[in-house]
Amino acid sequence: MILAAVSVLAVIGAWFFLTSLGRLISPAFLPPPQNIVTDFFRILSSPYVGHTLVGHTLVSLQIVLGGFFSALAIGIPLGILMGWFKRIEAIVDPLFQLLRPIPPLAWIPLSLLWFGIGIQSKIFVIWLSAFVPCVINSYTGIRLTEPLLVKAALGLGVKKQRDLLREVAIPSALPIILGGVRIGLGSAWMTLVAAELLASDAGLGYMMQMARRALEPSVIILGMLVIGILGALMARGLRVLEKRVCPWVKEEEH
């Protein structure tokens, strides 16, 4: 924690020196940190392109969380079923392998055609970005289930496939599945700005786009910092959840 704080302070100090004290970088390219602080309080209290900073942030959170939780609800069960049942894998995997290499942003024209310019089209793009890692990690985790664990469960009288899946395979795969959840969360935040360029009227990505047109780089950096902080806090929350759900992972690391 101390090293992390020192590294952040060192970056801010170097940033302040280059832009304010040394004036080695023009504010048009990289505004000094005090400008970002000023814009933070300005947009926090007064609307900027229709909403305050809190309003833009809530819209972005709605989009990210909507797409992210939809990806969890569909991607994780699909990956588990593909990893455990050969017949489901044979049916789904060819289509999944065909669609997986397509970048989520390539779906933007179709999302507009299917869902219009509302929030649904943006949630769909976010869903695509988080869906793939959830499926892959869930599938991989189930396939890597230790055969000895399955044999031990069979020896203890567990006979049904669904019981083996619930009692053995899923708990064994849980750390890998949660790793896919973290990757999916990161992908969702990385796709947010592009998704909010779809005829938006609110959101952090929209705010940054309008700031670009108005030549206000400090507002752009403010939006980037808000996205980074929210993403980091949510990722930290997932790590805490993983330690609670999978305490044995921490023990193995030591």
CATH of the domain at 208: 1.10.3720.10
How large a percentage of the chain has pLDDT more than 90?
Answer: 43
Neighbours of 254 (CB within 10 A): 4
215 dihedral zone (left: phi>0; alpha: psi -120 to 50; beta): left
pLDDT, tens digit (0-9, with 9 covering 90-100), for 233-249: 998 898 888 888 877 66
Q: Which of 32-41, 143-152, 183-192 has the lowest mean pLDDT?
A: 143-152
pLDDT, tens digit (0-9, with 9 covering 90-100), for 183-224: 999 999 989 888 887 667 888 988 998 998 888 999 999 999
pLDDT, tens digit (0-9, with 9 covering 90-100), for 42-60: 999 999 988 999 999 999 9
Helix (H) or strand (E) holding 128: helix 119-143
Specify if 108 maps to a domain: yes
- Name the residue range of residue 206's domain: 57-248
Q: CA nearest 207: which of 56, 20, 39, 83?
A: 56
Specify if 19 maps to a domain: no
Tell me the C-alpha to C-alpha distance, in Å, between residue 252 and each of 128, 174, 200, 228.
33, 15, 46, 30
pLDDT of residue 148: 78
Specify if 68 maps to a domain: yes
| Contact of 147 with 90, CB cutoff 8 Å | no
Specify if 254 maps to a domain: no
Number of domains in the chain: 1
Specify if 25 maps to a domain: no
Specify if 66 maps to a domain: yes
Pick 167 or 34 by higher pLDDT. Answer: 34
Specify if 29 maps to a domain: no
pLDDT, tens digit (0-9, with 9 covering 90-100), for 85-116: 889 999 999 999 988 888 888 888 888 888 88
Specify if 27 maps to a domain: no
